[in-house]
Structure 1
């Protein structure tokens, strides 16, 4: 997944008020943390070109306007896989500027210009899917991700990242059962990825399966015990299950571990709601 935060707003409804005094929840499958799965996708067998794309990508994170200008010039004077590499950087720079339409277009063009570089094509398709999701175009995102999924066979990390984005697209399209299957695939492919377990727990909780949600959030916490998003979700699941003491403990741990985070702000609200 592109190392950007993707603001995908999905299924934002509150916890059932009859189950808990907690009345708001963090949206699932949203604002995922940066992932570097595809960062070095371009020019894998050409060290000089890889150094150039790495420099451009690094600049895109610190000065996206400069990187975008450089990448546009790169694209204008090259062809084939070299131009595809320039489009890769162009897409990352546009994404860091919040121009998701331009980012998606650049990644799709990079994919289509990549010739027989199957791994690169798969990664560009995955990036395009992420950008399309961020731009609120889940149907197009799912099409790009499905194509990338086929091309990424054998690459567990990339396939797992694609599965997570497919789950987001499927939730946005009102297909929660298919999203559950996509998350099952993600956990199988990247079992040490705490976020895959977090998203699975959140969706299970949304679907009313608190037992499964509890098992999955415990697995997420075992992998990354200090992630405030995991602690917050653990508290929500506990509150819905009527385990207010456990909920308070989880929410308090979020405040202690990341006091200035959005999750801590939510945890303080939840603590006030459940009391004690």
Structure 2
């Protein structure tokens, strides 16, 4: 009866999966991947406290919000719920508006948490790529014969673009329906740059890409101007991936002492 009542409250806004005991609840979590879990304290097999402890001790499920639903209202019962890791408590009989409000609040907190994790992962990616390219590549290139340097640069460009595309949401990097200049900016900005695009000044120049924050760091780029070549190569590789018939010209770079980076995307003349 309790399950049917909660489903009636929630079915209009959420997809609800139910279990009648603690063991079944834990078995459902890996496949159903719930956004919020409502747990009755009094359940057969495993009680709500035990299920909550199991969820919060597993790295795969520890951040799923858990609401304990209980007829118990004693101080010791609430402490037991807190110790088990519960995020919220509702006392039977459950009020519909209170239930919906608590769920909405927990979902917002969950989204904020995962947004922070995504930002952390993005910063880790930026730092990892920067570290490799600004510290290792210039040293490596100094030891290579001239004929091999171009090969290494092209390989590094492919690796950087692949890493960014794999770790970036498609909505952030853009799609084929957007201007290629905007897509180029979205992708290189994942490295910590601040680039934007604007329409070209003549019919041959499709886009201008301007950068006011270097993806490699202004000082690093000035010490190793080859990094500016990597920026140009990244744009060229993106243009190739998105099937655009354009070429990239470099007009200004911070690595050469300019105040900004300025790249021009031109139509290829045959």
Task: Name the structure where helix makes up a greater proportion of residues.
Answer: 1
Please confirm whether the aligned pair reaches a TM-score higher than 0.5, indicating the same fold.
no
Greater relative CO, 1 or 2 (CA 8 Å, sep 6+): 1
Task: Name the structure where strand makes up a greater proportion of residues.
Answer: 2
Question: What TM-score bracket applies, with the shorter chain setting the length?
Answer: under 0.3
What TM-score does the superposition give when structure 1 sets the normalisation length? 0.25
What TM-score does the superposition give when structure 2 sets the normalisation length? 0.26
